[in-house]
Amino acid sequence: MSVSEPPPVRTDADLVDSDFAVLFDRHAAVVHRYLARRAGTGAADDLLAQTFLIAYERRGTYDRTRPDARPWLYGIAGNLLRRRRREEVRQYQAWARTGVDPVAADHAGRVAEAVDAECAAARLAGVLAGLSAADREVLLLVAWGELSYPEVADALDIPIGTVRSRLHRARARIRAAAAKDQGDGHG
């Protein structure tokens, strides 16, 4: 009887080559979560499958020196979301206008929020609706995708300086909106 060693941990780069289904198992939930936060659960259900199908078809483009496939997958998901940009902006606008998040309202398990938190959320939604698509994408990859700046740069294939400047611009808009709310007595 031979002594078996624990199998080596496979990086995402290994899985891209050898077992794409396991790559799915590793990241599907988190990619779905990101998609759902951007587009709603119903849309995310379909976009998730599309993201991985495209990823599989394009796996030749995966940089094998990258052990974590999340930025790459988010980049593909972002391309799909871009085609839904109008719907995405509309739902942020509706959220800002009504104070009710149309995405969160889709599911029954929604936790009731305090009124002031709802106000803050609606304000943020208004900012999101007003951002350029490029700035919004960087902002949400950081806030919802939990990617680092270099990972966002990877995901979007843009220089890291561009990530910083877009994020800086987006955050300035958020702060400006918060200051305006406080000035209006809503803070």
**64 or 186: CB nearest another protein:** 64
CB of residue 29 vs another protein: minimum separation in angstroms?
Answer: 6
In the complex with another protein, which residue's Cβ is closer, 59 or 84? 59
Contact footprint for another protein (CB under 8 A): 16-22, 24-25, 28-29, 32-33, 36-37, 41, 44-45, 48-50, 52-54, 56-65, 101, 103-104, 107, 109-111, 120-121, 124-125, 139, 142-144, 171, 174-175, 178
Return the number of the residue (53 or 161) whose C-beta is nearest another protein: 53
Shortest gap between Cβ of 121 and another protein (angstroms)? 6
99 Rama class: left (phi>0) / alpha (psi -120 to 50) / beta = left
By CB atoms closer than 10 A (0-12, 13-18, 19+), residue 138 is: buried
CB-nearer residue toward another protein: 161 or 176: 176
Asked whether 118 and 95 are in contact (CB, 8 A), the reply is no
What are residue 105's phi and psi, to 5 degrees? -70, -15
The answer to whether the CB of 139 falls within 8 A of the CB of 167 is yes
CB of 185 to another protein, least distance (A): 19
Sequence-ordered strand ranges (E) for the chain: none
CB of 63 to another protein, least distance (A): 6
The DSSP string of 99-134 is S--TTGGGSTTPPP--HHHHHHHHHHHHHHHHS-HH
77 closest CA partner among 105, 95, 64, 58: 58
| Residue 78 to residue 137: CA distance in whole angstroms | 8
CB of 56 to another protein, least distance (A): 6
User: Which lies closer to another protein via its Cβ, residue 175 or residue 186?
Assistant: 175
